[in-house]
Amino acid sequence: MLDIQILRNDLAATAARLATRSYTLDVAKFEQLEANRKTIQTRTQELQATGNRINKMVGQLRGAGHGMDDGEIVDLMRESASAAQERKEKELRLDELQNELKKFLEVIPNIPHSTAPVGKSEADNVEIRKVGEPSKFNFEVKDHVSIGEGLGGLDFETATKITGSRFSLLKGPLARLHRALAQFMLDTHTDQHGYTETYVPYLVNKNSMYGTGQLPKFEKDLFSVKNEGQEPAEKLTEIFNNSQLYLIPTAEVPLTNMVRDEIVPLDKLPMKFVAHTPCFRSEAGSYGRDTRGMIRQHQFDKVELVQMVLPEKSYEALGELLGHAEIILQKLELPYRVVKLCTGDMGFSAATTFDIEVWLPAQNTYREISSCSNFEAFQARRMQARFRNAQGKPELLHTVNGSGLAVGRTLVAVLENNQQADGSVNIPEVLRPYMGGMESIQLA
């Protein structure tokens, strides 16, 4: 959430910067809400002063020997009661206005950092670097679906029967390769990069979704679970407590919310966490996109990296985290590129984002495999996640996160980039210890 003082101090410049994200700030509405707030707040303060003045006058009269039935005191008390009643009404209206301002703020995206390229879509993103050369094949390249089905380990038909479209079922060596990738990522990030491995809930409450920016704006993109009160088991009632819970779209949500409503000791920063979880997304608005294969699924796995850091360290942390994600692809010897997202392509909460895109031979293009962002204080303000600075004053944290990596898309890249003419797939050397020494996956 934006600091409301930014709007109060420089509304026109803020609106112009948000316009680069294709977001139209309702300036007139904000000005009207602010004008009403100021008027009522001023009147509330006047009424408070009136009450204080009357109390002082009554005290002076009582001190001079006047009784409570004295005409002057009676008039003053009548005036005091009237002021108190009006003040109560004004305070209720002020609370309503503050709530309206909060609702106004909570759907406004973060302000792009000054270094973010201005643009409208992914076509305006800026390539930063390419690493590795795409492999050249002397045979007809297959996509991961054909490869996986040929190996007997990728089954969409059964997954559709079990659940529905946009789900997949892995078995045999491919299921093991998927697990190996996740374990390899976790080991790298914990042993070499200093993250604390964390096991988190896959269901979170509304406050958690609100804290990282998924609610209220993106509720249609989420899967929710609700206890409908149909004579549930006693334990289920205890867990759900008649409230709505959401399946996590990314481990960013539970990991970041670990510091919600907390004041983190200065000596505990930076905090660095990694978690491997399934992720659940409705993919609202993506009808017809990537319907073949594992690129865009309702359920997929990710290894997520999250850092909570000092404000002055957050862009250094973003560069570090980006490098940690890149190292996974380097170790897997997969070609990739890094792009800086333009203002029109960034996520709601991000101030700056770098995407890592891996090369997919069958598509003859690079596809996103990680998105690494600095949210500055945007999420921390929603969560009231703070630290106590050197002067002992609470201050908002900065949050940084990114995928390290999306496991399913990494599996896709491994299959396509390591395919052989006979339909087999070579296993990257760093994964072989996780595969029991297996060097390749052969046709079933």
Tens of pLDDT along 296-323? 999 999 999 999 999 999 999 999 999 9
Same domain for 200 and 139, yes or no, is yes
Instruction: Average the pLDDT over each of 50-59, 329-338, 348-357, 369-378 and give the range with the smallest value.
Output: 50-59
Residue type, 433: P
d(CA 194, CA 273): 9
Classify residue 215: in a domain, yes or no: yes
Instruction: Average the pLDDT over each of 42-46, 60-64, 126-130, 162-166 and give the range with the smallest value.
Output: 60-64
Final residue belonging to a domain, choices 57, 77, 105 = 105
Instruction: Average the pLDDT over each of 90-94, 261-265, 287-291, 434-438 and give the range with the smallest value.
Output: 287-291
Residue type, 158: T
Same domain for 74 and 200, yes or no, is no
Per annotation, catalytic residue among 93, 260, 296, 337: 296
Classify residue 8: in a domain, yes or no: no
**By percentage, how much of the chain surpasses pLDDT 70?**
95
Classify residue 7: in a domain, yes or no: no
The count of domains in the chain is 2
Same domain for 212 and 334, yes or no, is yes
Same domain for 81 and 30, yes or no, is yes
Per annotation, catalytic residue among 87, 166, 381, 409: 409
Query: Does the pLDDT at position 234 exceed 60?
Result: no
**Chain centroid offset of residue 249 CA:** 9
Write the pLDDT tens digit of every residue in 174-211.
999 999 999 999 999 999 999 999 999 999 999 999 99
Write the pLDDT tens digit of every residue in 199-209.
999 999 999 99
Classify residue 116: in a domain, yes or no: no
Average pLDDT, stretch 370-391? 97
| Active-site residue, 337 included | no
Coil vs helix vs strand at 87:
helix
pLDDT at 34: 97
d(CA 70, CA 66): 6
pLDDT at 84: 92
**How many other C-beta atoms can be found within 10 angstroms of the C-beta atom of residue 153?**
22
pLDDT at 71: 85
Q: What is the CATH number of the domain that holds 186?
A: 3.30.930.10
Per annotation, catalytic residue among 17, 166, 176, 281: 281
Same domain for 169 and 250, yes or no, is yes
Query: Does the pLDDT at position 235 exceed 60?
Result: no
Average pLDDT, stretch 213-241? 71
Classify residue 1: in a domain, yes or no: no
pLDDT at 243: 73
Final residue belonging to a domain, choices 70, 105, 140 = 105
In sequence order, the 6+-apart residues with CB closer than 8 A to the CB of 408 are 168, 178, 294, 297, 300, 301
d(CA 269, CA 287): 42
Q: What is the dihedral of CA 99, 104, 109, 112, to 10 degrees?
A: -100
- Residue 286 pLDDT level (bands cut at 50, 70, 90): low
Same domain for 79 and 157, yes or no, is no
More confident residue, 386 or 61: 386
Classify residue 218: in a domain, yes or no: yes
pLDDT at 285: 58
**By percentage, how much of the chain surpasses pLDDT 90?**
86
d(CA 296, CA 369): 11
d(CA 297, CA 156): 11
Contact status, residue 351 vs residue 185, Cβ threshold 8 Å: no
Which range of residues forms the domain containing residue 49? Answer: 26-105
Same domain for 282 and 401, yes or no, is yes
pLDDT at 189: 98
Final residue belonging to a domain, choices 105, 138, 160 = 105
Query: Of 172, 116, 122, 119, whose CA–CA distance to 149 is shortest?
Result: 172
- Residue 61 pLDDT level (bands cut at 50, 70, 90): confident
| 386, containing H or E segment | strand 386-388
Average pLDDT, stretch 51-71? 87
Q: What's the helix, strand, coil split of the chain in %, to 5? A: 45, 20, 35
| Active-site residue, 371 included | yes
pLDDT at 228: 56
CA R_g for the chain: 28
Residue type, 299: Q
Contact status, residue 432 vs residue 443, Cβ threshold 8 Å: no
Query: Does the pLDDT at position 31 exceed 70?
Result: yes
Query: Does the pLDDT at position 70 exceed 90?
Result: no
pLDDT at 303: 98
In sequence order, the 6+-apart residues with CB closer than 8 A to the CB of 387 are 263, 264, 265, 266, 268, 269, 310, 394, 395, 397
Same domain for 94 and 209, yes or no, is no
pLDDT at 133: 95
Classify residue 111: in a domain, yes or no: no
Same domain for 92 and 133, yes or no, is no
Query: Of 333, 310, 312, whose CA–CA distance to 431 is shortest?
Result: 333
Per annotation, catalytic residue among 100, 368, 395, 424: 368
In sequence order, the 6+-apart residues with CB closer than 8 A to the CB of 274 are 186, 189, 190, 195, 196, 197, 198, 303, 304, 305, 306, 404
Average pLDDT, stretch 22-33? 97
pTM summary value: 0.92
Write the pLDDT tens digit of every residue in 260-278.
999 999 999 999 999 999 9
Per annotation, catalytic residue among 371, 373, 376, 416: 371
Classify residue 226: in a domain, yes or no: yes
Long-range contacts of 78-82 (CB under 8 A, 24+ apart): 79/50, 79/54, 80/50, 80/51, 80/54, 80/55
d(CA 69, CA 32): 45
Same domain for 187 and 275, yes or no, is yes
| Angle made by CA atoms 189, 191, 194, in degrees to the nearest 5 | 65
Same domain for 73 and 209, yes or no, is no
Average pLDDT, whole number, for the chain? 94
Among all chains, which residue has been given the structure tokens 């359920």? 299
Strands (E), 86-170: 126-131, 154-155, 169-170
According to DSSP, the β-strands at 352-360 and 336-340 are antiparallel
189: which DSSP letter?
Answer: I
Same domain for 163 and 305, yes or no, is yes
| Active-site residue, 409 included | yes
